[in-house]
Amino acid sequence: MRLDGKVAYVTGGGQGIGRGFAHALGEAGAKVAVVDMDHTKAQAVVKELFLKGVHAIPIKADISKSDDVQRMVDTIVSKWGAIHIACNNAGINRNSASEDTSLEEWDQTFNVNLRGTFMCCQVCAGRLS
């Protein structure tokens, strides 16, 4: 499968599965925006991709924040003119038993895993090519 000329973003792209998605998309020919709350991790993945000849940019964003999601999309479209592939991978898991989970942790988990993914889809809906 080739993705030459396509533009992708990967939320949670600074590590783990997201890093793997970023590499796979880039190796298939896509330009990749590596999105992560930790800018240093996003930059490290971009450097790895650059060594493979992949066009990539790091974007620091917390997808639980609507302003960050809008800025993420605006940055990608401004840089490459379109978004073709939305890889909404970001997610958190506190690994605590329900009786040990605070409401703050519960809210944070749902704000990233559900609300954040919804906002990414919503903002991208009019921008996906």
Contact 91, 112 (CB under 8 A): yes
Cα separation of the two ends of the chain: 18
3-state SS string for the chain: CCCCCCEEEEECCCCHHHHHHHHHHHHCCCEEEEEECCHHHHHHHHHHHHHCCCCEEEEECCCCCHHHHHHHHHHHHHHHCCECEEECCCCCCCCCCHHHCCHHHHHHHHHHHHHHHHHHHHHHHCCEC
Distance CA 21, CA 53 (A): 16
Selected residue with higher pLDDT from 25 and 126: 25
Task: Give pTM, 2 decimals.
Answer: 0.94
Mean pLDDT, residues 112-125: 94
Rounded CA gap, 106 and 71, in Å? 26
The domain spanning residue 78 has which CATH number?
3.40.50.720
In a domain, 1, yes or no: no
The 10s digit of each residue's pLDDT in 56-115 is: 999 999 999 999 999 999 999 999 999 999 999 999 988 788 899 999 999 999 999 999
For residue 126, what pLDDT is reported?
76
Q: Say whether pLDDT at 127 is over 80.
A: no
Task: Give the Cβ contact number of residue 89 at 10 Å.
Answer: 22
Q: What is the pLDDT of residue 129?
A: 65
Q: Residue 14: name the closest of 42, 54, 49 by CA.
A: 42
* Number of structural domains found in the chain: 1
91 — phi, psi (to 5°)? -170, 155
Per-residue pLDDT at 53 = 98
pLDDT tens track for 18-64: 999 999 999 999 999 999 999 999 999 999 999 999 999 999 999 99
Residue 66 placed within a domain: yes
| Structural domain that includes position 81 | 7-125
Is there a domain that residue 121 lies in?
Answer: yes
Asked if residue 2 is part of any domain, the answer here is no
